[in-house]
C-alpha cells in the first residue's frame, strides 16, 4: 500500500494553493460590478480672490471683486477703505472654487485638490495665489459650517485657457465626512455598474448575497430592478456596516452569471470603441462625410446589366460572410479605410439612433 511522503504532501498543498489562486480568474468580484449607494463622490464649492496677477485681473470696474477686496482689506488692514478707491486694482480676480470629496469620505486634515476658474473678466490666473477662503456644500438651502479651507498657488495646466487652473492639495478638510451606507430602515443599496446592469445579473447577485448572509433563512437581498439590489442588514450586523459589507463585496461571482449581452462602450475623449462579440448590425445604408456605408441583403448576383462595382470610398458589410454581420465587420472596414475616430463614433451613434445596432451602447 503506497504512502504519501512529506514531499508529496507539500506538492499537493502547493497545487491546492495554486488552484485557489487560479479560480478567481474565472470569476469577478461583486465589488467590481457594483457600487454602494452612499459611497458616491461629492463636491464642495466656494468663491474667493486670487492675488498677485500681473495686470490680468478683473480690474476696478468689476465691482464684485472690488467689494470683496475692500472687505478683506477692511478686516485685515484699513477699515475705512471702499471699493471706489480700488479702481486700479487689476492684479486681483474673483474665482469659483470646486473640490471633489472622494467616495470614501474625508477625515479632518485631509488635503484636496481645488479647481479654480475666473468668475469675472480676468484673462489669466498665471502667477496668482488664492487668498484663504472657506468651502461648503453645493446646496444653498442647506447652511453648514465650513467643510474645508482653501488657499495656495494656482497652477495653470492649459495655457490655451489660462483663466482656469488647479491648486494641488489646496484645500484642507475642516471636518470629517463619512459616507452613509445604511438607511434608517437598516437597508443597504447596491447599484450595478451601467455596463453590466441586467435583470439576470441583479437576480444572481441577490441570490449569492442571500446565500452568503443567510444560507438557511429568508433571503436578505432582493433585486429592485435591473441595476438596483436592496440588502436588509441583520440587526446584529448594523453596528459595523463596513465589516458586514467587506466579505460581500469581495465575493466572486462566475462570469457566466454576469451575462452582459451585446454591449458597446465608446470613449468619446480617447476615440476608443470596445464591444462584445455578440453585437450585430441590421441591413442599413449610411452616408457620412463623403463615405458610404452599405449593407445589401441579399447580395445581388453580378451580370452584364448590373456589374459588381467596387469603389474605394465605399464601406461594405459583406453578407456572404455570415447571415447577420457584426460590428466587428464594420470596425474591420474602418481599419482598412483608416476612418478617423470621430467619424467612427458618429457612425455608431447614427446606427444606434436608427435602431440598426443591436446592442446597449455606453458613452463615456
351 touches 281 (CB < 8 A): yes
pLDDT recorded at residue 192: 95
pLDDT in tens, 313-364: 444 444 444 556 677 777 777 777 778 888 888 888 888 888 888 887 888 8
pLDDT recorded at residue 329: 75
pLDDT in tens, the chain (364 residues): 444 444 443 443 344 343 444 444 457 899 999 999 988 888 999 999 999 999 999 988 888 888 888 888 888 877 877 767 777 788 999 999 999 999 889 999 999 999 999 999 999 999 999 999 999 987 766 667 899 999 999 999 999 999 999 999 999 999 998 889 999 999 999 999 988 888 889 999 999 999 899 888 889 999 999 999 999 999 999 999 999 999 999 999 877 677 656 778 888 887 778 777 667 777 665 555 555 555 444 555 666 665 544 443 444 444 444 556 677 777 777 777 778 888 888 888 888 888 888 887 888 8
User: In degrees rounded to 5, what are phi and psi of residue 96?
Assistant: -100, 140
The residue assigned the cell 439590489 is: 229
pLDDT recorded at residue 93: 95
pLDDT recorded at residue 137: 87
pLDDT recorded at residue 131: 96
pLDDT recorded at residue 300: 57
User: Strands across the sheet with 360-363, in order?
Assistant: 272-275, 263-267, 360-363
CA angle 24, 262, 194 (to 5 degrees): 70
Evaluate if pTM is beyond 0.85: no
pLDDT recorded at residue 350: 85
- Provide the 10 A C-beta neighbour count for residue 78: 11
With a CB cutoff of 8 Å and minimum separation 6, the contacts of 13 are none
Closest among 242, 270, 259, 268 to 192, alpha carbons compared: 259
Q: How far apart are CA 283 and CA 327, in angstroms?
A: 12
With a CB cutoff of 8 Å and minimum separation 6, the contacts of 151 are 129, 130, 131, 132, 133, 167, 170
| Cell digits of residue 362 | 455606453
The residue assigned the cell 452569471 is: 257
Amino acid at each position: 500500500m503506497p504512502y504519501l511522503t512529506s514531499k508529496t504532501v507539500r506538492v499537493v498543498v502547493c497545487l491546492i494553493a495554486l488552484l485557489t489562486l487560479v479560480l478567481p480568474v474565472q470569476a469577478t468580484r461583486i465589488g467590481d460590478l457594483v457600487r454602494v449607494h452612499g459611497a458616491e463622490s461629492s463636491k464642495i464649492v466656494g468663491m474667493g480672490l486670487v492675488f498677485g496677477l500681473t495686470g490680468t485681473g478683473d480690474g476696478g470696474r468689476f465691482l464684485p471683486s472690488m467689494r470683496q477686496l475692500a472687505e478683506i482689506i477692511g478686516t485685515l488692514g484699513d477699515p475705512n477703505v471702499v471699493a471706489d478707491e480700488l479702481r486700479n486694482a487689476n492684479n486681483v480676480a474673483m474665482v469659483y472654487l470646486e473640490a471633489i470629496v472622494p467616495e470614501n469620505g474625508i477625515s479632518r486634515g485631509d488635503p484636496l485638490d481645488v479647481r479654480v476658474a475666473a468668475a469675472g473678466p480676468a484673462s489669466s490666473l498665471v502667477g496668482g495665489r488664492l487668498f484663504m477662503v472657506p468651502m461648503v456644500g453645493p446646496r444653498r438651502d442647506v447652511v453648514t459650517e465650513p467643510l474645508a479651507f482653501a488657499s495656495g498657488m494656482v497652477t495653470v495646466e492649459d495655457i490655451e485657457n489660462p483663466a482656469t487652473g488647479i491648486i494641488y492639495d489646496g484645500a484642507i478638510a475642516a471636518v470629517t465626512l463619512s459616507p452613509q451606507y445604511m438607511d434608517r430602515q437598516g437597508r443597504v443599496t447596491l447599484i450595478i455598474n451601467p455596463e453590466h446592469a441586467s435583470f439576470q445579473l441583479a437576480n444572481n447577485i441577490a441570490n449569492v448575497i442571500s446565500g452568503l448572509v443567510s444560507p438557511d433563512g429568508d433571503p436578505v437581498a432582493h433585486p429592485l430592478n435591473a441595476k438596483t439590489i436592496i440588502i436588509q442588514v441583520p440587526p446584529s450586523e448594523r453596528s459595523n456596516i463596513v465589516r458586514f459589507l467587506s466579505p460581500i463585496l469581495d465575493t466572486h461571482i462566475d462570469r457566466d452569471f454576469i451575462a452582459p449581452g451585446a454591449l458597446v462602450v465608446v470613449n468619446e475623449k480617447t476615440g476608443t470603441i470596445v464591444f462584445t462579440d455578440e453585437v450585430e448590425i441590421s441591413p442599413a445604408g449610411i452616408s457620412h462625410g463623403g463615405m458610404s456605408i452599405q449593407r445589401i441583403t441579399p447580395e445581388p448576383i453580378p451580370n452584364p446589366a448590373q456589374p459588381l462595382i467596387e469603389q474605394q470610398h465605399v464601406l461594405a458589410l459583406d453578407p456572404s460572410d455570415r447571415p447577420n454581420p457584426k460590428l466587428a465587420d464594420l470596425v474591420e472596414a474602418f481599419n482598412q479605410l483608416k476612418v478617423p475616430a470621430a467619424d467612427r463614433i458618429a457612425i455608431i451613434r447614427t446606427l444606434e439612433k436608427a435602431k440598426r445596432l443591436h446592442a446597449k451602447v455606453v458613452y463615456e
